[in-house]
Amino acid sequence: MKLKLLLIACSSCLSIVSHAQTPGDIENVRFEYMEKPVLLSIGGDPLDFVHATYTNMAWGDYNNDGSLDLFYSDKNNHGSATKTQESFYQNNGDGTFNKLTSPFASTAFSCPVWFDMNNDGLLDLFIPGLSDWNYQWNDLSTRLSTIQARLYINQGVQTNGTYKFQEIPVSESGLIPIFNGKTGGKGHNWAVAGDYDNDGYTDLLITGFDEKERSNRDDYEDAVRVVYLFRNIKGESFELQKTPLNGNKPFHGMTDGSVCFVDLDNDGWLDIVSTGYGYSRESEMHVYWNMQDGTFTESDYNFDTTTNSSCDVCDLNNDGWADIIITGVYFNNGQKKFYIYKNKGNRDFEKIEKEQLLPIDGGQLSFGDINHDGLADMLVGGHNNTYEHTTWLYVNKGNFDFEPMAWYNKENYGWAFPRVTHGSEQLIDIDNDGQLDAWISGWSKDTCNSGCNTELWKNTSNVSKNEAPGTPQNLRASLIEGTNLLSLSWDPATDDITPQSALQYNIYLKKKDSGTCYMTVPADISSGFIKVGRISGQLTQCSYKIKIESNGVYEWGVQAIDNGKRGSLFAKSTLTIDQVSGITNQEEESIFIHSKGESVYYSIKGTGDITLFKTDGSIVYQNQIQEAGSITLQEKGSYIVMIKTTEVRYSITQFRFSLYGKKIFITRMRCPVQPITYIFKRATVH
């Protein structure tokens, strides 16, 4: 047996495995409304979140503390019918938030997106929308200045402990002011980030009105509808791709709808899905296949169409292919819809309609495994056919069958989400307890007298904690002859619940000792924490091609992501690239250990034994382990973690760090390859 020992500090209580889930189980699903989770720094009673309607929410870890923070901006009916109010909250990691003074401008009908534009490891923010909620179509002199495309670059922490953001004007950013529409631009995913050309820089995809191109100042129908693809130019600016369709045409312009970046055909390149109201004066839906050369070709599949819609993608049946989910209304007859396009592979689809999926428009879709059964569930709000406000949690039973849970069955289960439409619904883990919580906001009739509502609901389901997947193994890299493409591949990871076929992946690539890190989904390299609430641009296969610009020594890593939006620790490898002699690979150890807050997280290849010691040598935990998991402890302090496996050489890693947000110091040492039981190394907790 080979050993790895780790000295580490951690805190809190021993985790207990609870109820084991069966597919589609709803009996153990529980949510609890989090009343007044916002703390006041100056004292006084806690507050609720500021109410908002007609807006998306952006969840992202802007300060790299391992918790998802929140920004949104739009109409607040409590103030004025035309007032917009920005809301910026810092997540304390324990279910509470601090409301911050926002450095961002108020924006109506907004769709904020957290992403890392310049690959410096800090999340930047893009906010398209309107500066004035009371936008006037017939006032050309004011409306052009009203439309916004605000880009804020994260400058990092300042000497006073706060984070600074620098706004980049559109004259420098290359972006074009766009908004999605006053009727349909209400909580739809109409702006999204992803690296479509695999150059390591995150691009932007946006749909809506480009008012500067409008030819008739009075005719709503004559406004220029667009689906704009902005290529990221090495983290410095963006460039509009004017003719990405077949290399000679723009995408079909649409408003009042949504866009998605997704690898639908599993070739390692992001495709595009768009819905909305187009120049045809009808609802439209388009799928564009990435041709791997900066251009796209349109699918010839005959998709049904919607507007005032939300389209999104998720592998609902765990077969390894991303399905397309559509809500909305057919413009010409007002018929509302909710259906799924099953991805059959080979760029083919099958339309699936289920009686359980109640037709709505004005909704937003969010996906995630809320009951830890390995299947992605759906949360959505909207207007039904009788214009009633609804919020539905659809528990996935497998094979595209769902169990709807909503306000109507509150008596059965003791809880019910508020009924909203034209807002935002998101499944996110706000306290990192391994269970997805629910954010719900929008236009409401049964909660707030002013017609708006914003609520956070904690997942208290009686289910086992979602553990992170195991790390991928056997990392490989090679240069594709005659190109500047680096081909990366790895063996599939495994997870405690999510099937191997349904796991997705995230990779990073950086030059050694460089601050620039190319990454498909923003994540913390040390802990594997996914920094954004809405994951976009993730990989569907165990391979990826990325462009490189020069020779040198590179580090790269890959993590697995499960249906509960949990990322594994990164498996890492170092490679030396020389265009003449090729590349040299050196994969790092296959044992990974990380601590955060109250837990110790581990990932190994195969099986092994784990033992946790106090610094006096007494054993506090001992068990057999497999692949990946976590352990929490009753007392804060310093511990030795010993893992026995047959896969790696001995090593000892000494961690010295403090709890509650203080600095972390890490040193690494190698042990001789010889039999040892354990070695004590004391770490001081400040």
Q: Which residues contact 12 (CB under 8 A, 6 or more apart)?
A: 597, 598, 599, 632, 633, 634, 636
Q: Determine how many CB atoms are found less than 10 A away from the CB of residue 58.
A: 30
CA distance 489 to 511: 18
Burial class of residue 451 (count of CB atoms within 10 Å of its CB; 0-12, 13-18, 19+):
middle
CA distance 208 to 215: 16
Residues of the chain with pLDDT under 50: 1-18, 20, 184, 647-686
Residue-level pLDDT at 16: 38
Position 36, amino acid: K
Q: Determine how many CB atoms are found less than 10 A away from the CB of residue 578.
A: 11
What is the DSSP code string of 250-312? PPPPEESS-EEEE-SSSSSS-EEEEEEEETTSSEEEEEEEE-SSS-EEE-------BEEEEEE
By the 8 A CB rule, do 529 and 67 touch? no
Q: Measured between alpha carbons, how far is residue 526 from residues 156, 296, 530, 601 in Å? A: 18, 36, 11, 11
Helix (H) or strand (E) holding 142: helix 140-146
Nearest to 571 by CA among 655, 488, 671, 667: 488
DSSP letter assigned to residue 496? S
CA distance 85 to 107: 8
By the 8 A CB rule, do 241 and 231 touch? yes
Two structure tokens written together for 618: 């007494």
Position 215, amino acid: S
Residue-level pLDDT at 57: 93
Burial class of residue 240 (count of CB atoms within 10 Å of its CB; 0-12, 13-18, 19+):
middle
CA distance 291 to 284: 22
Edge-to-edge order in the sheet of strand 504-511: 517-519, 504-511, 552-561, 571-578, 582-587
By the 8 A CB rule, do 20 and 666 touch? no
CA distance 613 to 313: 45
Two structure tokens written together for 398: 């497998």
Q: In the chain, count of helices (H) and strands (E)?
A: 3, 45
Two structure tokens written together for 294: 């900066």
Residue-level pLDDT at 140: 59
Nearest to 459 by CA among 374, 566, 372, 382: 372
Nearest to 507 by CA among 552, 553, 541: 541
> For the CA atoms of 358, 20, 497, 461, what is the dihedral angle to 10 degrees?
50
By the 8 A CB rule, do 486 and 546 touch? yes
Residue-level pLDDT at 672: 33
The torsion angles phi and psi of 167, rounded to 5 degrees, stand at -80, 135
Residue-level pLDDT at 662: 35
Nearest to 244 by CA among 279, 204, 215: 204
